[in-house]
């Protein structure tokens, strides 16, 4: 039985990784976390977790002994912000909690430790962390093992006889070839990228301007012509269009041919034939001068930018210029259909869970806002599993 201490535990991402490998830590998994919603999700899945006080209150009197693995990802906000500032991210803000990780590491002296943090930090911070730990990091992009682009540093060290640490060499994982389209709940929805932008704790704020202007907070394109909400299931997915009015992504499998199905594309389905939809959206939200002029003109004529937000705050309608090239075709008789608008939506909580390698509905039971937050704050489970696999070669935990 492996004894684990997880600091900044979140929704128990480390436990999920251990579980995926069959590394047993039943009743020997100790965690420190202050987010009550993340703890709620963790306990729902692993009721045997032993919770400790927050990291600032941990000391010799309440820390467990004989720890095999200590793992944690100290808050990264100051490292990210510091990239635009002069001072080190280790000098102010939440990222100074790294020093609590170091303090506890020196008390517990686990056989192995893993520290995770953002790869966007300044070199001065990365070098300082490496100096303090005595271990050099490996940078791994989650895109190798999931459908999400998420670059992180991982410091992985093992205890020497003199009670200092040395680096455990970690090779880069092989690319699993997973793309964003693979993890969508509705395979008929369309993604314009092979990999999702990094899912962060603030994903709930996702909107078209963030996506098209700043390249962050992934959005998904929904296909359909005409009225929606046919399925009446309250979900913003392509299945809410009648079968004959759906527009399918050319990345997926063709729908079954039918002799009698109704609707514009009822017999064969309608398929996206190029990326005109994306190009048209860039006209309104892109960084080009052409896009800026289009937005300015639209705002002068309509009093607002080209996107109108749906009342449910999860999808948006992007008005398109009818003079633009059409983007769908009915393969029944090669007719070209002129779409009046395009709909984009947020990733669902389940899709975000999949991007992080969690089980579907692992975080279910709290609000979507809290689900997005804990998912974005968490580990990418397949990456942690991969690191543990490399560690296991030496320690044989399973």
Q: Which residue has the higher pLDDT, 124 or 267?
A: 124
Same domain, 324 and 229: yes
Tens of pLDDT, residues 311-361: 344 555 554 443 333 333 222 222 333 344 556 677 888 988 999 999 999
Q: Is residue 161 part of a domain?
A: yes
Same domain, 8 and 141: yes
**Rounded distance, CA 141 to CA 175, Å?**
10
**Rounded distance, CA 65 to CA 152, Å?**
29
Q: Note the pLDDT of residue 321.
A: 40
Which band of pLDDT confidence, cut at 50, 70 and 90, is reported for residue 67?
very high
Same domain, 29 and 104: yes
Read off the pLDDT of each residue in 119-130 and give the average, rounded to a whole number: 90
Token digits of residue 107: 């008390």
Strand order in the sheet with 270-272: 247-248, 270-272, 328-330, 335-337
Token digits of residue 260: 């009698």
**Rounded distance, CA 51 to CA 39, Å?**
9
Token digits of residue 256: 């079954």
Q: Note the pLDDT of residue 316.
A: 54
Q: Note the pLDDT of residue 367.
A: 92
Is residue 174 scored above 90 in pLDDT? Answer: yes
Same domain, 76 and 150: yes
Q: Is residue 182 part of a domain?
A: no
Which band of pLDDT confidence, cut at 50, 70 and 90, is reported for residue 234?
low
Token digits of residue 135: 């271990």
**Rounded distance, CA 328 to CA 130, Å?**
53
**Rounded distance, CA 17 to CA 319, Å?**
43
From the list 290, 345, 287, 269, the residue with the least C-alpha distance to 314 is: 345
Q: Find the catalytic residue in 11, 76, 327, 352.
A: 76
When mean pLDDT is compared across 111-125, 257-271, 349-363, the lowest value belongs to 257-271
Q: Is residue 362 part of a domain?
A: no
Tens of pLDDT, residues 80-93: 554 445 555 667 66
Is residue 284 scored above 50 in pLDDT? Answer: no
- C-beta of residue 315 within 8 angstroms of C-beta of residue 346: yes
| Catalytic-residue membership of 25 | no
**Rounded distance, CA 173 to CA 144, Å?**
7
- Residue located via tokens 């991969």: 386
Separation in Å, CA 54 to CA 34, 147, 168 = 6, 33, 28
Q: Note the pLDDT of residue 269.
A: 43
Helices 36-45 & 368-377 angle (0-180, nearest 10): 80
Read off the pLDDT of each residue in 21-26 and give the average, rounded to a whole number: 91
When mean pLDDT is compared across 25-34, 169-178, 191-200, 287-296, the lowest value belongs to 287-296
Mean of all residue pLDDT scores within the chain:
75
The count of structural domains within the chain is 2
Which band of pLDDT confidence, cut at 50, 70 and 90, is reported for residue 278?
very low
Q: Which residue has the higher pLDDT, 257 or 384?
A: 384
CATH number for the domain spanning 31: value is 3.40.50.150
Q: Note the pLDDT of residue 264.
A: 42
Read off the pLDDT of each residue in 186-192 and give the average, rounded to a whole number: 72
**Rounded distance, CA 393 to CA 23, Å?**
13
Q: Is residue 342 part of a domain?
A: yes
Same domain, 218 and 298: yes
Same domain, 130 and 225: no
Read off the pLDDT of each residue in 148-152 and give the average, rounded to a whole number: 90
- C-beta of residue 4 within 8 angstroms of C-beta of residue 68: yes
Tens of pLDDT, residues 26-37: 889 999 999 999
Same domain, 231 and 330: yes
Same domain, 104 and 216: no
Q: Which residue has the higher pLDDT, 186 or 256?
A: 186
Separation in Å, CA 313 to CA 199, 317, 353, 361 = 18, 11, 20, 21
Q: Note the pLDDT of residue 218.
A: 79
Same domain, 114 and 155: yes
Is residue 232 scored above 80 in pLDDT? Answer: no
Helices 381-395 & 13-21 angle (0-180, nearest 10): 50
Q: Note the pLDDT of residue 230.
A: 44
From the list 85, 73, 70, 88, the residue with the least C-alpha distance to 118 is: 73
- C-beta of residue 142 within 8 angstroms of C-beta of residue 380: yes
Read off the pLDDT of each residue in 196-204 and give the average, rounded to a whole number: 81
DSSP 230-248: SS-SS--SGGGS-GGG-EE
**Rounded distance, CA 247 to CA 152, Å?**
36
Count CB neighbours of 126 within 10 A.
Answer: 20
Separation in Å, CA 189 to CA 158, 258, 289, 393 = 45, 21, 29, 41
**Rounded distance, CA 306 to CA 317, Å?**
9
Q: Is residue 215 part of a domain?
A: yes
Q: Is residue 289 part of a domain?
A: yes
Q: Is residue 153 part of a domain?
A: yes
Tens of pLDDT, residues 71-82: 998 876 655 554
**Rounded distance, CA 96 to CA 146, Å?**
30
Q: Note the pLDDT of residue 347.
A: 84
Read off the pLDDT of each residue in 144-164 and give the average, rounded to a whole number: 94
- C-beta of residue 302 within 8 angstroms of C-beta of residue 247: no
Instruction: Tell me the residue range of the domain where 323 lies.
Output: 207-346
Percent of the chain past pLDDT 90, that is, above it, reads 42
Query: Would you call 105 helix, strand, or coil by DSSP?
Result: helix
Q: Is residue 366 part of a domain?
A: no
Specify the pTM.
0.75
Q: Note the pLDDT of residue 172.
A: 95
Read off the pLDDT of each residue in 134-139 and give the average, rounded to a whole number: 96
Which band of pLDDT confidence, cut at 50, 70 and 90, is reported for residue 250?
very low
Same domain, 171 and 212: no
CB under 8 A, 24+ apart: contacts of 361-364: 362/11, 362/16, 362/41, 362/45, 363/11, 363/41, 364/41
From the list 187, 338, 209, the residue with the least C-alpha distance to 277 is: 338
- Residue located via tokens 């009342």: 311
**Rounded distance, CA 32 to CA 12, Å?**
10
Is residue 134 scored above 70 in pLDDT? Answer: yes
Q: Note the pLDDT of residue 294.
A: 60
Same domain, 10 and 143: yes
Same domain, 271 and 128: no
Token digits of residue 70: 């200590």
Q: Choose from 70-79, 105-114, 295-304 the range with maximum mean pLDDT.
A: 105-114
């Amino acid at each position: 039985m492996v004894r684990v201490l997880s600091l900044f535990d979140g929704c128990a991402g480390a436990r999920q990784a251990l579980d995926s490998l069959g590394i047993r830590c039943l009743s020997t998994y100790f965690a420190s976390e202050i987010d009550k919603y993340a703890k709620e999700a963790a306990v729902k899945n692993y009721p045997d977790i032993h919770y400790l006080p927050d990291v600032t209150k941990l000391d010799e009197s309440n820390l467990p002994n004989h720890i095999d693995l200590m793992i944690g990802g100290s808050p990264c906000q100051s490292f990210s912000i510091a990239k635009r500032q002069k001072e080190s991210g280790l000098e102010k803000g939440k990222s100074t909690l790294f020093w609590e990780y170091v303090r506890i590491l020196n008390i517990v002296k686990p056989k192995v430790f893993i520290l995770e943090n953002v790869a966007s930090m300044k070199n001065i911070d990365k070098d300082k962390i490496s100096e303090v730990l005595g271990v050099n990091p490996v940078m791994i992009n989650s895109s190798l093992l999931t459908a999400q682009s998420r670059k992180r540093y991982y410091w992985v060290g093992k205890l020497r006889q003199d009670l200092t640490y040395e680096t455990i060499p970690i090779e880069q994982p092989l690319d699993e070839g997973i793309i964003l389209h693979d993890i969508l709940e509705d395979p008929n929805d369309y993604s314009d990228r092979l990999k999702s932008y990094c899912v962060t704790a603030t994903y709930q704020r996702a909107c078209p301007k963030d996506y098209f202007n700043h390249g962050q907070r992934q959005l998904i394109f929904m296909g359909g012509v005409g009225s929606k909400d046919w399925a009446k299931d309250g979900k913003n997915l392509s299945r809410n269009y009648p079968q004959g009015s759906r527009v399918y992504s050319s990345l997926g499998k063709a729908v079954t041919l039918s002799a009698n199905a109704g609707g514009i594309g009822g017999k064969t389905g309608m398929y996206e034939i190029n990326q005109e939809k994306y190009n048209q959206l860039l006209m309104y939200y892109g960084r080009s001068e052409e896009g800026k002029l289009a937005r300015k003109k639209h705002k002068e004529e309509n009093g607002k930018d080209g996107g109108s937000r749906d009342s449910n705050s999860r999808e948006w309608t992007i008005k398109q210029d009818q003079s633009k090239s059409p983007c769908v075709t009915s393969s029944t008789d090669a007719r070209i259909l002129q779409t009046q608008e395009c709909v984009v939506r947020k990733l669902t909580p389940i899709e975000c869970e999949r991007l992080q390698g969690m089980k579907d509905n692992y975080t279910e039971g709290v609000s979507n806002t809290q689900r997005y937050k804990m998912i974005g704050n968490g580990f990418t489970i397949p990456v942690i599993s991969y690191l543990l696999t490399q560690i296991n070669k030496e320690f044989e935990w399973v």
